Structure 1
Amino acid sequence: MPRLNIDTEYLKDTLAELLSIASPSGYTDTIVRAAVTELRRLGLETQITRRGAIRARIPGKQQQPARAMIAHLDTLGAQVKALKENGRLELVPIGHWSARFAEGARCTIFTERGAYRGTILPLKASGHTFGDEVDELPVGWRYVELRVDAMATRPRDLERLGFSVGDIVAIDPQPEFIDNGFIVSRHLDDKAGVAVLFAAIEALQREKPELPVDTLFLFSIAEEVGNGGSSILTHDIASMITIDNGTTAPGQNSSEFGVTISMADQTGPFDWHLTNKLVRLCKEHDIRYQKDVFRYYRSDSAAALEAGADVRTALATFGVDASHGYERIHLHALRSLAELATAYVTSPVEIQRDANPAGSLLGFPSQPMEDAAPTNSDPSDPMI
């Protein structure tokens, strides 16, 4: 079946809407409600777990072996560690990101009495006061503080306003959608991945191809703190593709264009058969792609496997420059990834044995072990 046409305007509009909703890990109820509303508008039945992870299913010709695609709704953020004597807030990060990218960020603090605005600043923020000491201050969360836009000069003032230890801080995304296709924003990891899945769902619901098996679209809410995909899979899911960001940086093979297929991350190789199927689909459907291996990276796939799920996993990504900072992507990668998603869910199931959790060797796949055939057939070649 030819790849489905992706509505890129819908994809961009969806991404913009997702970016407008604050959703640091631990504070995701609002974005869960928004995502479920859109999934239902698209005609999908949804289930929401106790904490808010989402399952949406498109039925296929047969129920098993079901497929899944997953992206995460939560983002990086911060949390109040202490109310400081100067009326400012000490912070710790939510998720793993450098305080270098927090300096100067505008943000929202969610307290029991409502939301306040503020700015994360280095401890020595005034050049007129500290001179060169501003540049000499080390980088780290101990060296920044949150200045609240409210009348507060001491801890008692903060308490009176409703601030307390543990309050969640959401960092402004500051998105820019540029006419040449580039998109710059915080939190593209992984709201761009969520937008990709919504665009794929929209294409599937519009074109209505027959899917060979049930396909679940999963949305986790705690990937940035390490346990996103650990408790959302159903027993019938045999394979799961994670949609997340690729690391476009020196020494990496990722790109802001096309699909970047991760062959491995810090938890080890992804499933050989599922990953190579994605590569073949890219070739068959003329989708630009490249492969990469990530050193300091884990995803919903790792969380699912560590929780004991016996599923084949793969990671398909959109290349992000400056991941976990001021991120940049290109619409070409998002469209390509959505095209691959539709190609995958409409493709035949190759390992039917995966419908059962266990069995004999009958139908069990194999990996090539023979020596590669020589490319030069000249009998005079001494290497033959």
Structure 2
Amino acid sequence: MKRLDLDQNYLMRTLFRLLEIPSPTGLTDTIVHVMCDELNKLGIPFDLTRRGAIRANMSGKVQSPDRAIVAHLDTLGAMVKNLRPNGRLEAVPIGTWSPRFAEGARVTVYMDGDRSCRGTILPLKASGHTYDTEIDSQPTAWSNLEVRVDMESNSRKELEEAGFNVGDFIAVDPDPEFTDNGYIVSRYLDDKAGVAAILTAAKAIVEAKAPLELDCHLLFTISEEVGVGASHVLHGDVAELVSVDNGTLAPGQNTSEFGVTVSMQDSSGPFDRHLTTKLLDLCRTHKIEHARDVFNHYRSDAAAAMEAGNDIRTALLCFGLDASHGYERSHIQSLMSLADLLSLYIQSPPTFTRDRDLLGPLADFPHQPELEKHIEDPPKQ
């Protein structure tokens, strides 16, 4: 296992390309094609599920037990709920995000066939020249928003004649900006920044021809934002699953803005202590800037995999992200730290060789010396 050279320019180019492709949950076919094209360029074989989740394979010396790293390609978005009498579109969110981040956003509405139309999400009372201070007192709610489409449209009939329907997808512009001092500002860095970091780590391993101790699957899911996650793309040989997603920068959180963050627990519960400790040890040994954090209102691809009944060790690695599910900001240094750790983890031996079997004896089951000491030497009364 060795430290590898990581291509920062590749990470940034790949991220920008991914951000440009609309991919709200349910409208992910195009980004799946782009991802498969990128995997082909890297020479990494892959398979697809029926709906387009990707399972790529980096071969190692041992096929089982193997490991997987997962990130999601789908993003937040919206859908047309109704055609309004005023010629505008009522919208509901895809995924969980606040309507305050939708106000004023430029969007593309994808209609049946290959038609689309540009538009803007606006509050019902959008003009101060008309509504005066009422624009500040109106509620923040999706029911208080509408999409103004960029065409002559003053009635439901005109919308119908133009081809709009209930169920049309609404993709919100990401508006990416890469600053000279390393900040990356855009919608949907969750989780396209994580995807770009995984590809950067994989590229470094391929180019260095670094030997792997065991097979590593790169999983790219398409419905994490609605809670499905990695539950539908795993197979029984996977013993370790590392999810890659955002870590929130906010008061009360401990996420590193410029390093990688190892999550100890999210809303679904604690992550595997042994796998998490291994990742922290890799950071310490190789002097990768890192932090530990706990997320109370957050779940990742790993949670869906566990809830589907998979008996696997899970962990969550995060890049620092400000204003998650809004107009987000990260830093290239955090993404590079994440890619650095991933490249080392992919090369590492399995956390436990015994994990190749679903069931095994007690003899090789791991110990927790810090607890067993108290069992063997109970405190004196």
Partner of 1:118: 119
Question: Quick one: which amino acid aligns to residue 44 of structure 2?
Answer: L
Partner of 2:278: 277
- Return the alpha-carbon distance in structure 2 between the equivalents of residues 96 and 367 of structure 1: 39
- Return the alpha-carbon distance in structure 1 between the equivalents of residues 368 and 326 of structure 2: 39
Deviation at 1:370, TM superposition (A): 4.1
Partner of 1:382: none
Trace 1:78-227 onto structure 2 (pairs within 5 A): 78-113=78-113, 114-227=115-228
Structure 2, unaligned runs of 5 or more: 375-381
- Return the alpha-carbon distance in structure 2 between the equivalents of residues 178 and 186 of structure 1: 15
- Return the alpha-carbon distance in structure 1 between the equivalents of residues 225 and 371 of structure 2: 41
The reply to whether residue 41 of structure 1 matches residue 47 of structure 2 is no
What is the aligned residue count?
373
Partner of 2:379: none
Deviation at 1:371, TM superposition (A): 8.6
- Return the alpha-carbon distance in structure 1 between the equivalents of residues 55 and 102 of structure 2: 33
Question: Quick one: which amino acid aligns to residue 176 of structure 2?
Answer: P
Cα pair distance change 1:372/1:153, threshold 3 Å:
farther
Contact persistence 1:3–1:340 (CA under 8 A):
no
Taking only aligned residues, the RMSD between alpha carbons, in angstroms, comes to 1.2
Deviation at 1:25, TM superposition (A): 0.2
- Return the alpha-carbon distance in structure 2 between the equivalents of residues 253 and 62 of structure 1: 37
- Return the alpha-carbon distance in structure 2 between the equivalents of residues 156 and 372 of structure 1: 76
The reply to whether residue 254 of structure 1 matches residue 255 of structure 2 is yes
Query: Which range moved further: 212-221 or 2-11?
Result: 2-11
SS at match of 2:196: helix
Deviations 1:37-80 (A, max 9, x none): 10011001110100000010011001011010000000000001
- Return the alpha-carbon distance in structure 1 between the equivalents of residues 346 and 353 of structure 2: 15
TM-score relative to the length of structure 1? 0.96
TM-score relative to the length of structure 2? 0.96
- Return the alpha-carbon distance in structure 1 between the equivalents of residues 214 and 367 of structure 2: 22
Contact persistence 1:274–1:312 (CA under 8 A):
yes
- Return the alpha-carbon distance in structure 1 between the equivalents of residues 358 and 109 of structure 2: 46
- Return the alpha-carbon distance in structure 2 between the equivalents of residues 323 and 294 of structure 1: 13
Deviation at 1:310, TM superposition (A): 1.1
Structure 1, unaligned runs of 5 or more: 374-384
- Return the alpha-carbon distance in structure 1 between the equivalents of residues 131 and 373 of structure 2: 65
Deviation at 1:372, TM superposition (A): 8.8
Question: Quick one: which amino acid aligns to residue 35 of structure 2?
Answer: A
Deviation at 1:2, TM superposition (A): 2.8
Question: Quick one: which amino acid aligns to residue 33 of structure 1?
Answer: H
- Return the alpha-carbon distance in structure 1 between the equivalents of residues 101 and 67 of structure 2: 37
SS at match of 1:165: coil
SS at match of 2:318: strand
Deviations 1:247-273 (A, max 9, x none): 111110012210011100011000111
- Return the alpha-carbon distance in structure 2 between the equivalents of residues 147 and 235 of structure 1: 48
Deviation at 1:362, TM superposition (A): 2.5
Contact persistence 1:238–1:354 (CA under 8 A):
yes
Deviation at 1:106, TM superposition (A): 0.3
